[in-house]
Amino acid sequence: MSDWFAPRSNNYLTWLGLTFLAVLGLCVSNATHGAEESTPSDTVSIGIVADNKPYSFFEGRTTSGFSADVLKEIEANSGIQFEFRAGNWPELYEAFLAGQLDAIDSISYREDQTDRILFTEPYHIRQTYLMQDSGRPIGDIKSLADLEDLRVGVVEDVYYRDLLVGSGIDVRTYDSIPSLVRALAFGWVDVIVGPRLSMKYQANIAGLYFLSIVGAAPLGPQSQEDLRIGVRKDNPELFRRIQLGLGAIPESRKAELLQRWREFGGTSISESLKFKLSDSEQLFISQLGPVRVGLMGDYAPFSFKAGGKLQGLSVDVLNRLSDLTGLQVIPVSGTWSELFPMLQDGTIDVLGNMSLTEKRQAFTQFTAPYYIIPNVAFTRDGGLDFKGLNSLSGYTVGITSDIYYQDEVLRIVGANTKVFDSQEAMFQALEHDRVDVVLAALPNGNFWVQELRIPGVRIAGELVFEDHPGEDLRFGVRASLAPLADILNQALAAISPMEMRTIEDRWLGASKATESRGMAELRLSPEEQAWLDQRNRSVSYCIDNDWMPLEGLDSSGNHVGLSAEAFRLFSESSNIRFELVKTDSWPESLEAVEERRCDMLALAMKTPDRTRFLNFTTPYLQVPNIILGRIEAPFIENVGDLRDKRVGLVKGYAFAELLQYRYPGLKLVEVENETEGMKLLQDNELAGYVTTLATASYHMQELGLADVKVIGRIPADWSLSVATRSDQPTLLGIMQKLVDSLTPEERSSLESYWRDIKIEQSVDYRLVWQLVGIAVIGAALMFYWNRKLNRLNRQLASANDALARLSVTDDLTQLGNRSYFDREFRKSFQWCQRNRDGFAVAMVDADLFKSINDTYGHEAGDHCLKTLADTMRRHFRRETDRLSRFGGEEFVIFTTYQDRKEIIERLDRFRNAIADCSTVFGGQEINLTVSIGLATGIPEPSDSPASFLRLADQALYCAKQNGRNRLEVRAIKE
């Protein structure tokens, strides 16, 4: 046995050694081969759809989305490194089949392609749905036959396209889901087919909330789309590794990734969006005080007024930023043409709906966009084939003033462009065929088309600019408050995707959303009902006794005024008894609610100090804030013009606190009530008195104050709410629901209550008889005094005339001043508008005037301005000619005309007269020239004075650019 074993053992060892070496060599060979084919350092090119949110998209160079997250999980599990190649589906599919890509993402299994493609197991299965425009419902779709009379949109080369075409359906193909969604929004197709999540996601981010999912697509077995990864059949090893990497992803992980994109916009569910300002930022906010934020009142659904209340998506975003940062906000409502100059001159601090342009960056700090919406061309012309601005040649095009693309439109469309001060006026012009096309953001335009019920409007196409994907809504902050822009940016980033979606869902239903606002049925929670039952459904409140017609007490001590009417409505809808706690003054009412002797204030404005002890509902009333002065007082541009002067305000009123923040130079004088303030103003002990337009009208009539007038407007309205004690949050919830339950009709009725209120004066007959007796005695003295009174009256009239002239006259040139311009410009414009006469506005500017001041001195400059004014008076002496010094070396001439050529010739003669005649000052000869910009036209009902002035200013700019000492003319219309 041993003999036999020995030789076999030697042979066996030899064989074993050779086998070991062979296996070792094979392993090395395989390892080397594997390293060549696919090691962790290998990159695999994979096609991924670039604009397929939320499945796959690109942010800069970063790939994002659910599918991208799945691919990143495969990378981690397999050691493969994907090189993402972006494109639309048709391009990617063609490149993949041509061998230019190793793999392709989001491909669905197709039996006819299995000879060329290896398909992984599906990592996601999604149902295919139909989407419609809610304004053009397609009805109930149960089978493919129901689609035969419709234009159906699909993505090019999608797997179910052949099924639709084979069924005789009119199929329109588009290169991506975003293009598909826009085609539906613009009315180019009647219905689209695609994945529910993708279509809804794209509609939401584009602001197309009127598009809705109507139901599952009737595609039978093909109604479910399976997302897989495809690999060419000649690379089975790559396919194996991708399949293994995919299989290693737990189903729970895929579900988490999907939920992350479906519900949270990509933010990790476990992420905590904590927001905290630094100590220096908190100090900045506290020292800043309330900021005035301009919000357009005609920009639905982003910001607009309804039922006297400013509301919309931008307003809600602003309120959320205020909550996060502690910033105190005073909303200022107006049109864009009003608000934009106010941001430039610092009258407001922030503008809420503003797009970024290079020109605006010179005076504005911008936040990141909080919403981006597409701009489109609305038209009633069925023949317009819109392919960009160049295709609008020969069409009259409407835009709103100072929109970020205004310069581009004027450059390309030219004189056929009409600029409007409001969107409503622009769409009214479209309705009455005064313009052929209007350019507007899609949700805004849809709102006005529905609101004005304009027939036959269609969307001709999308307005796209290379540097603007759409209208980017941002907060624009005046440059001197740059740190505020950074703080708002941080707060915007802290608003969670879910919060933002909630805000968007609330408002981006355009007119439908606005119709339902303010009509919420009152539904109190069990907790709120229990709270009321514990108090026998009785709640106490305090008011301001002397703030009529908003609120006050009548002769019997009963609560009357607007807030009394509001509380009557609240009581009727809730069966709550509201019991008045009487006080002697407004400061005492504030003290009573702070000491918890009453539960709330019926009508109060939110201020930083009051939030210590009060909670506030949303405002249910907004009233303009004004400044009164004596009849001889000049009009003021802003509150700062009253610096170092005594300005009255009722003690404890909200604007006392806010004005002290903003205008520390004012000498605020607190009075006990409105009556005292008015009398102090009448007695000339105050230079101004701050109050509301409503209460001013009431008291001026009641007290017979003929020598008091409105001299200015504070750029912030009184936003009046119900204020509840802060230690009873349940009460706040109840009152908020009552405020929300007010219908639009009730809100309108409340607003008209103060606008239309009449003053009824009772007759005291005892006083009448006393006066008769006095009259008999006085008759004997009448003759004596009559002559003296006549003389005094003549002197007084002469003095009043002189004061009136001084208040509207420029001291240096004796032409009209800015107050004169403000008073006469609109009157002259409206006269032309009514009588269909030509209106001409000329902006006149002295050329290189600074060099005159620098060379000869400011006295010489003043002398030149007087000479210019004298020459202007000689050339414009007609009854309708109006001349004013606009500021510095700039003047405005405005007048009516019958012959446009004649007004141009008069201006040219005036310009030549200035250039031909030098003036002498201090023995030195000074030459002066002027540049003139002229705007002419016959004002239409939709036009505004500001549009003429703006066009004249643009013409003046051209005159300066083209060499000065020239007249440039622009016509709005003839």
889 catalytic residue (yes or no): yes
C-alpha–C-alpha distance, residues 427 and 437, integer Å: 9
- The rounded distance, in Å, linking the Cα atoms of 463 and 375 is 5
User: What is the residue type of 659?
Assistant: L
**Cα–chain-centroid distance for residue 521?**
29
Q: What is the DSSP string of 729-740?
A: HHHHHHHHHHHH
Tell which residue, 264, 111, 124, 301, has the closest CA to residue 195: 124
Q: Distances from the Cα of 691 to the Cαs of 584, 647, 669, 711, 951, in angstroms?
A: 20, 11, 13, 12, 36
From the DSSP assignment, how many helices (H) and strands (E) are in the chain?
31, 48
Q: Are 693 and 718 in contact (CB under 8 A)?
A: no
Phi, psi of 531 (to 5 degrees): -60, -40
Biggest CA pair distance of the chain? 170
Using CB atoms within 10 Å of the CB of residue 61, give its burial: 0 to 12 exposed, 13 to 18 middle, 19+ buried: exposed
CB 677 within 8 A of CB 649: yes
- Catalytic residue (one of 462, 551, 889, 968): 889
CA distances for 334 relative to 27, 255, 329, 624, angstroms: 79, 48, 16, 12
Pairing assessment for the beta strands 397-400 and 437-441 based on DSSP bridges = parallel
Pairing status of strand 151-155 against strand 170-174? parallel
Cβ neighbours, 10 Å, residue 207: 27
What angle, rounded to 10 degrees, do the helices at 693-702 and 744-755 form? 40
Instruction: List the end-to-end C-alpha distance of the chain, in Å, as a whole number.
Output: 127
Token code pair at residue 477: 């902050």
H/E stretch holding 945: helix 945-961
Radius of gyration of the chain measured on its C-alpha atoms: 37
Tokens 């608000």 map to which residue? 339
The DSSP secondary structure of 501-552, one letter per residue, reads HHHHHHHTTHHHHHHHTT-------HHHHHHHHHTTTEEEEE--TEETTTEE
The whole-angstrom separation of Cα 57 and Cα 87 is 10
Task: Tell me how far apart the alpha carbons of residues 225 and 160 are, in angstroms, rounded to a whole number.
Answer: 9
Query: φ and ψ at 163, to 5 degrees?
Result: -65, -40
> Taking the CA of residue 932 as centre, how many other CA atoms within 13 Å lie in the half-sphere pointing to its CB?
27
Please give the Cα distance from 663 to 646 (Å, whole number).
12
Distance, in Å, from the CA atom of 617 to the CA atom of 741, rounded to the nearest integer, reads 12
DSSP label at 696? H
Beta strands in 820-874 (DSSP E): 838-846
Number of CB atoms found within 10 A of residue 62's CB: 9
Task: Put residue 289 in one of left, alpha, beta given phi > 0 → left and psi -120 to 50 → alpha.
Answer: left
The strand pair at 882-887 and 329-334 is best described as: unpaired
- The DSSP code sequence of 377-415 is EEES-TT---SSGGGGTTS-EEEETT-TTHHHHHHHHGG
Could you give the residue numbers annotated as active site? 889
